[in-house]
Chains A and B, each alone.
Chain A
Amino acid sequence: MSSRRSRQSSGVPRITDDQIIELVSKLRQLLPEIRDRRSDKVSASKVLQETCNYIRSLHREVDDLSERLSQLLATIDADSPEAAIIRSLIM
């Protein structure tokens, strides 16, 4: 492996500006925060940061919802017709 000091990565292509623009336009539909900014000049690092925040918040929601469903399943009143619906659906 040649030691080229100017090369800092392990040789894989870096994210290009075009790809950032593509990512922004698609993420714009998913993230309301970016929508109102000046269209072409959103920084790459800001986009990545918003993306990471969004993914983290989605992970949290999945976790919270799993917990909530776990509690709900525990508290179903056994004899009601509603419990029968839930039971037939997911149990």
Chain B
Amino acid sequence: MRAPQSIKQEFLKKWILGLQLCDFAKQNMSMLERKKAIKLSADIAIASTRNGMTCWSRALVAKASRDYGDKVLVERMLASESEKLKKVSSIGLIAPNKWVIIRSKKILRKSRRARRVRSSVPQSVLAKSIAKKMVKKRTQVLKSLVPGGEFMDDISLIEETLDYIISLRAQVDVMQTLAKATDLLNERAKVQAQVGHLALAAESTASPTARLISDPSEAFFKQTRESPQVTRHQGHRSSS
């Protein structure tokens, strides 16, 4: 199994490159457009850590390419990736004629179910069949949550799910750290600005900000080290 730390590092690198391609500084984007671009680059970055080896990662790239308006940007983000991923984004995950086959299978399944005759069954058998139905139902939900899930058989679904969850966790952890760091830097900037105003008012000639920050990158890493530990399971609630 891949080490979480190496997933995070690879994701961070690719995500940062993707964010730089979005060109936030120059364009006048709305908050929603910026958010979509951030999410796009995050999804492509986490998918590319798998290098097209898992179904979910290919499906995620296909979905991101499909949903995002600026196809040129998507292409640029995938420029350094493997041929597999590039193909997925342009062709899509499944060829059109396969859709027809899948849909007709679903219709056949539904009609089979309708023809089944109800008869009196012993309690234990009934309980087992209810349990099976629950598993089937929940499996369907899981298939809708994992990218590309609807194309997987039950066995692959479990393996893909495990890999997908691990990758999602890494993605969330890194995004939280960056958000926290940016937040801290913003806060610090505000404080420095206030200190600066006060000092000026008190007739000091040297700029306090210049004194406090000699090396900007040193400040960045100092901040992230000193920040309180990001909670891993925040936002995770179970409902029974």
Give chain A's interface residues, CB within 8 Å of chain B: 1, 3, 5, 8-10, 12-15, 19, 22-23, 26-27, 30, 32-33, 43-46, 48-77, 80-91
Contact = CB atoms under 8 A, between A and B. Distances in A.
B201 interface: no
B131 A60 contact: no
A27 B164 CA distance: 12
Contacts of A65: 172, 175-176, 179
Given A51-B161, A70-B34, A82-B189, A5 B116 contact: yes
Interface residues of B, number: 71
A13 B165 contact: no
A23 B161 CA distance: 9
B10 interface: no
B168 A55 contact: yes
Interface in B148-197: 153-155, 157-158, 161-162, 164-166, 168-169, 171-172, 175-176, 178-179, 182-183, 185-186, 188-190, 192-193
A91 B20 contact: yes
The prevalent SS among residues of A at the interface is: helix
Contacts of B190: 77
B209 interface: yes
Given A45-B131, A55-B146, A72-B186, A90 B24 contact: yes
A61 B155 CA distance: 28
A67 to B, nearest CB: 5
A74 B31 contact: yes
Interface stretch (B64-72, B79-87, B214-222): B214-222
Contact of A50 (B34, B162, B168, B238): B238
B19 interface: yes
Residue among A3, A30, A48, A67 with most chain B CB within 10 A: A48
